[in-house]
Amino acid sequence: MRIFLLNSLFTAFIAFNSYSQIDFEKGYYVDNNGQKTTCLIKNVDWMKNPTEFKYKFSEGEDAKTLTIENVKEFGVDKESRYIKSSVDLDTSVDEVKKLSRVREPIFIKRELFLKVLVEGKATLFLYENSNGRKYFYKTEVTEIKPLIYKKYIKGVNTIAENNQYKQQLWNDLNDDGLLQKKILKINYRENDLIGIFNAYNGKIKPVLKNEKNDWFNLSVRPGVNSSIVKSSQTGNVFNRTQEINFDRELSFRIGVEIEMILPFNKNKWAILAEPFYNSYKTEQEQGYGRINMVDYNYIGLGIGLRHYIFLNKKSKLFMNGSMVLAMSTADSNVVSFGQYQDIDNSTTAAFGIGYTYNNKFSAELRYNLNREILKYIYTSAQYSGQSIILGYKLF
């Protein structure tokens, strides 16, 4: 049964992965001669700035690739726009262990696709790679240049910041002096910078900004578990292993799921944390008036990763995997082979597939791998089970 379920989950994952190819969406590109062409672009909601993209002119044809060498601009309608520019890129690293003692940025000339965040009298751009996020800007009277921010080591081991970007904004975006206080208070991050550029441009919203769903979700998750316990003992007087297979039992579980949507790849990935409560209770006669029983109550905490497959605007499938810590209550025990033994805390892995409707209601089938709940020298017990879990999103 376990092999069948694992094979089913694996097959479902392969099928989901095949089905969930990123959509080609309406867009355009501008070649180096300034010729604009409308097309369909594979919108992968790039986490890092691309150097190429796939496109085609109709759904039925094969995709082709254009690179930064061939194109000076491309975009996905109402979502994102990238322009090619030769800029000074600061190669300094923000990782604490790799910070330098040099205050000034270390520039190299690079030809990049910059993502347009805000457009107007002043335009804000983003470039993101493995070294972190770098912002660029231009005004009606200046070319594209970097907003300078750098962490560095000062003195013995003090981390200092070069906040030259504030002086740049003060000089170039403060014509009437109305933004002075805001510029002094901002940090080098996207929302703060977008706010300043929007204020300068006299706009409420950025010209091009990906429409993101809520990045934080909280759901209540009741469900039903089908669980089983198998106990074994070795080293008895007959020098053989004895086993007790307890009955499969149904029990109610309740949990709360905290989900954080990751801001890339079209909101297809999420990190999960789910505290929950579950129980298992059964007993059976062994003969000669002896009773074997399990009374197991535990609080679990699952930490995992989820992948979504969007079917349409209201429906999506998902598959997730998680590591689960199960903390048994003080009254949890197993009585087997004439012995009373307390149940230990344990860890395991769990895998699930499910469906979400209208971003509000969900149902999941989950398989929990075996975990050891008794850790004695001669006696052991394994707990495993499957769950059907319903979900209701609170916010």
Q: What is the pLDDT of residues 126-163, one digit of tens each?
A: 999 888 899 999 999 899 999 999 999 998 889 999 99
Rounded-to-integer distance, Cα 295 and Cα 89, Å: 63
The ranges of the chain annotated as CATH 2.40.160.20 are 216-393
pLDDT at 1: 47
CB contact burial 156-172 (16+ within 10 A = b; e otherwise): eeeeeebebbbebbeeb
101 DSSP assignment: S
pTM exceeds 0.85: no
Rounded-to-integer distance, Cα 34 and Cα 37, Å: 10
Burial of 372 (0-12, 13-18, 19+ CB in 10 A): middle
Q: Are strands 150-154 and 145-146 parallel, antiparallel or unpaired?
A: unpaired
pLDDT at 352: 95
216-393: in CATH 2.40.160.20: yes
The predicted-structure confidence for 62-108, as pLDDT tens digits, reads as follows 999 999 999 999 999 988 999 999 999 999 888 888 888 999 999 99
Of 328 and 337, the structure prediction assigns the larger pLDDT to 328
Q: Please tell me the chain's helix, strand, coil percentages from 3-state DSSP, rounded to the nearest 5.
A: 15, 55, 30
Contact 181, 195 (CB under 8 A): no
